[in-house]
Structure formats: C-alpha cells, structure tokens
Amino acid sequence: MPERASAGERLRDTVLGEFELEPDRAALLDQAAAVVDRIVELERRADTDGLVQQGSTGQPIVHPAVGEARQQRALLQKLLAAIGLPAADDGSSWDGLDASTRARRAALTRWSRNAG
C-alpha cells in the first residue's frame, strides 16, 4: 500500500503543479514544506499529550509544542511571502492544510487578472 503524502509534500506538489518557480524559490518551497510537516507533528504531539501540561512547580502550563507551532507558522508565512505566491481570494494563507484548493483559487485569480 503506498504511503500517504505528508502535508508538506502536498503543499510542494500543489504549488509546483500551479506555478513555475526559479531554483532559489523552489528551495524556499522545500523549506516551507518541511516547516508544514513540523507544524503537523507539533500539533499531533500537543493533541496526544494534551494542551495543558504540569509545570515544574505543579502549575498548569500550555504544552510547549503549542508555542513552537505558533513560531513555525510565523516562519512558514515568511517563507511563503519570500517565494512570492499570490494570496488566496478568501484572504487565507498557504498553510498546506488545504493547499490544493488555495492553489486553484490563486491560479484562477491570477489567470483572470492576466486575461482581462
């Protein structure tokens, strides 16, 4: 049975299926794909362990993976901005979770602007 593609691989495949990237931007896309996979893993860990953990003195704290996922999302946005992908029509970002739909919308928007 073939292994299911990761969220990062789906992002990479979708973007490369819609856009032709220069080598430097393709390298940034590879980094973005790795970050997407890291975000998925961090979220999976927080879901498995629970969002609230016990701190060193017994106090409740937010799982450290939550903060790290937030930082990774910020990095992802910077990488995607550096690639220069157009924003989706609905104002959402390319986060890899629904990349296929967003890529299609962005491509249609780009096409309609160039076709007029």
39-64 pLDDT per residue, tens: 999 999 999 999 999 999 999 999 99
Residue 20 lies in a domain: yes
How many independent structural domains does the chain possess? 1
49 Cβ neighbours under 8 A, 6+ residues apart: 63, 65
* Average pLDDT of span 15-35: 94
What mean pLDDT value characterizes the chain? 82
For residue 28, give the amino acid letter. Answer: L
Residue 111 lies in a domain: no
pTM: 0.71
Q: Is the pLDDT of residue 97 over 60?
A: no
Residue 106 lies in a domain: no
- Predicted pLDDT at 110: 52
Residue 74 pLDDT level (bands cut at 50, 70, 90): very high
Residue 109 lies in a domain: no
- Predicted pLDDT at 37: 96
Q: What tokens were used for 24?
A: 């430097």
Per the structure, the complete domain to which residue 86 belongs is given by: 7-99
Residue 110 lies in a domain: no
Q: Measuring CA to CA, which residue among 26, 55, 114 is closest to residue 17?
A: 26
